[in-house]
A and B are shown apart, each in its own frame.
Chain A
């Protein structure tokens, strides 16, 4: 066993993530479900950190567990849909069956992918990321390609968000008296 501490952490956070995800989809109350989803996000962040992706781990906590889930909860509270027993998004036997089949297909796919192996020339040396982290530290490894090679993509992302914001305002504002 290469590293007992690593293995232990992997199984610990993996099991927490799976258990929280199961609780997330089985809770009737939307607020409880959302909070379990936060737990999934935290466990995933821990897994990212273990993969030497420190920055992604932190962003996962700030953006997903923090910002997006808060917005989820806001929406749930503002909409105030009433008794959770009356709302169900998967309706009837066939809906559940179809969803189950899609889930099975995805599991089969992950199994297939896990068995496939990459050609040796694409496999990175195990300490490659660690060396990068030492040389550029966690932010530098992300920032260099982001503001270099992918600068244009980065800027286009801001345009994409602008379009979405404009859309929300246009569709959401009160109609001017005509």
Chain B
């Protein structure tokens, strides 16, 4: 079915999963305002929020099997959108499930916290659906504002307040860059619609106009902040450390995935015509990010901070896929997001499960000898660390994620050999800190007088086991996911392959 987006009914149908999520979130918002604040109310809203997210997930799956498409308009209806939506929704469900226990334990009784996760997810879905710079901006802001609030939701924690304020100020700053970039791109091309922009860049030969160049540079800076790519990553460690752990997981996995998905679409669908000029900028961004993230992570002794820096490193790895700019690399990109989401979520779920009120247990030393007291947890954490490292077999999907990115980089029409070498080198560096955690858990003795770890309840155990299971199972049989990511990018309006001179095919779709 092909939607005519100028008709309101078709537009509503094209946006039906997003609208359902927002309507559900607003109903829950009312409910959370009516009830009395407390642990029980918080849990009820959380369970209902999971139900809304799960129902949206089913809608997205249903939509993706219908073969919908859309005519020109401000939203895209394609497989890439549905695939990315699935990744965000899975991330949101796991984050809310983690928050249920975490918020009860830390006495965060604001039931709105769960609803804000839903609203942030709605913003992400709008981002990846948008085919217009204005819609993209609104999606980014909806997501960002919800996440600023979530960072500071624990009002008794001064670290959370510091993180939230820092995130808010730097986020507002990056928004200014982003908006300025949009304004200049509009000034240069006279359009905000991706398709029109890409058509005009090619037809009117706007590649070298200063206004477009400055606009694209500012847009790149704005995206760099949101993706936490070096040198725009400065906020990430403090914010990740200060935020409540489930929210850190949500930021490191879903928020970053959303920024990437939107980035990929803008870069390939709107700015395909200037891709060749910007290839170098993305190349350097990727190279610097890989080095900085992985090297600085080596020095961290706080697990949340370490994962924050390592997630900066992952930004660099994913940017390798963007720099390759082929259909194959877009598929590798989606596969990476899936593997990375489960690994990050699982690792943070372990951190949440081992903490107790007043003793967050976030230092790596707290994990010494975990194998002797909690063998299951230690094995799961090892799987997540190895998955992020990209270790074969035991790292499951993580290995294939890096493998596909490497393959895409080397098989691109302009092979990214140096980036691929750098990817392998920095991965070797990252072994230094990922394996250190594994070594601490299995080989170091449990320190004398270490306090008792709290019992883990069924829900946390289920999240951790399911994440580890998915990583391992699809690590042995990666084909279904790989096939799914390939159908996901079939419909992306991809720019032509990165070739020195290309012409009309940029506007094929």
Contact = CB atoms under 8 A, between A and B. Distances in A.
A157 interface: yes
Nearest to B138: A156
Contacts, number: 94
Interface stretch (A77-85, A90-98, A162-170): A162-170
Interface in A118-147: 118-119, 121-122
A3 interface: no
Given A160-B145, A163-B146, A176-B109, A152 B74 contact: yes
B184 interface: yes
A62 B237 CA distance: 41
B119 A163 contact: yes
B29 A166 contact: yes
B145 A163 contact: yes
Nearest to A109: B214
A85 to B, nearest CB: 24
Contacts of B188: 118
B142 A160 contact: yes
Interface stretch (B85-93, B203-211, B309-317): B203-211
Contact of A116 (B37, B155, B209): B209
A1 interface: no
Contacts of B371: none
Nearest to B139: A156
B38 to A, nearest CB: 7
Contact of A149 (B74, B149, B205, B209): B74
Interface in A148-162: 148-153, 156-157, 159-160, 162
Main secondary structure of the interface of A (DSSP, over half): helix
B188 to A, nearest CB: 7
Interface in B163-179: none
B140 to A, nearest CB: 10
Contacts of B190: 118, 122
B331 interface: no
Contacts of B184: 113
A152 B116 contact: no
B126 interface: yes
B214 A112 contact: yes
Contacts of B126: 156
A178 interface: yes
A75 interface: no
A178 B38 contact: yes
Most A CB within 10 A of own CB, among B37, B138, B152, B205: B138
B289 interface: no
A156 B127 CA distance: 11
B74 A119 contact: no
Contacts of A166: 29, 112, 115-116, 119, 149
Contact of B134 (A115, A118, A153, A164): A153
Contacts of B152: 171
Contacts of B146: 163, 167
Interface in B130-160: 132, 134-135, 138-139, 141-142, 145-146, 148-149, 152-153, 155
B74 A122 contact: no
A113 B145 contact: no
Contact of A156 (B142, B200, B205): B142
List 9 A-B pairs, minimum CB-CB distance, nearest first. Answer: A167-B149, A176-B37, A156-B138, A119-B204, A122-B190, A116-B210, A160-B142, A170-B112, A153-B134
